[in-house]
C-alpha cells in the first residue's frame, strides 16, 4: 500500500511540475535548494530538453549502456546540454561536470 501511495505522490509531483516522470527524475537530480523561480523554471526546461536530446542520441545506438564509447558520447551530450541550458549562477562548470555522470548513470 505504501509503495502505491509513493507512486501516486511522484505522479502528482510530476503533474504539478508539468513534467513527465522521467523529466521529474532528471529535475530532482539537478535541482538545488534556494533556486529563484526563474532559475527553477530553467532547470525544469533543461530537464525536458535534456531527456529529448538524450533520447535522440541513443535512438540509433545498440546497447549504449554496455559500450564505453557510447556511454562517453551520451555523457558528453549531457555535459554540453547542461552547460548551455542551466542558469549560471547558481550552476557552475564544476557542478555541471559532477552532475553529468550522475545523470548518465541514472539513465
Instruction: Count other C-beta atoms under 10 Å from residue 39's C-beta.
Output: 18
Q: What are the domain boundaries of the chain? A: 2-106
The per-residue pLDDT for 13 is 83
9-21: per-residue pLDDT in tens? 777 887 788 888 9
The per-residue pLDDT for 71 is 86
pLDDT beyond 80 at 2: no
Let me know: does 17 contact 44? Beta carbons within 8 Å: yes
Let me know: does 10 contact 68? Beta carbons within 8 Å: no
Q: Which three cell numbers stand for residue 69?
A: 564509447
Q: Could you tell me the pLDDT band of residue 104, with boundaries at 50, 70 and 90? A: confident
27-72: per-residue pLDDT in tens? 999 988 888 999 999 999 999 999 999 999 988 888 888 888 888 8
The per-residue pLDDT for 7 is 59
Q: What is the largest CA-CA distance in the chain?
A: 42
Q: Which residues contact 6 (CB under 8 A, 6 or more apart)?
A: none
Amino acid at each position: 500500500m505504501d509503495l502505491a501511495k509513493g507512486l501516486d505522490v511522484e505522479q502528482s509531483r510530476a503533474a504539478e511540475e508539468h513534467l513527465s516522470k522521467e523529466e521529474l527524475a532528471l529535475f530532482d537530480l539537478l535541482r538545488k535548494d534556494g533556486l529563484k523561480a526563474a532559475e527553477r523554471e530553467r532547470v525544469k526546461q533543461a530537464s525536458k530538453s535534456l531527456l529529448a536530446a538524450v533520447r535522440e542520441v541513443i535512438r540509433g545506438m545498440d546497447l549504449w549502456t554496455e559500450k564505453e564509447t557510447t556511454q562517453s558520447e551520451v555523457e558528453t551530450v549531457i555535459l554540453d546540454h547542461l552547460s548551455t541550458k542551466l542558469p549560471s549562477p547558481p550552476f557552475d562548470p564544476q557542478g555541471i561536470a559532477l552532475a553529468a555522470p550522475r545523470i548518465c548513470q541514472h539513465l
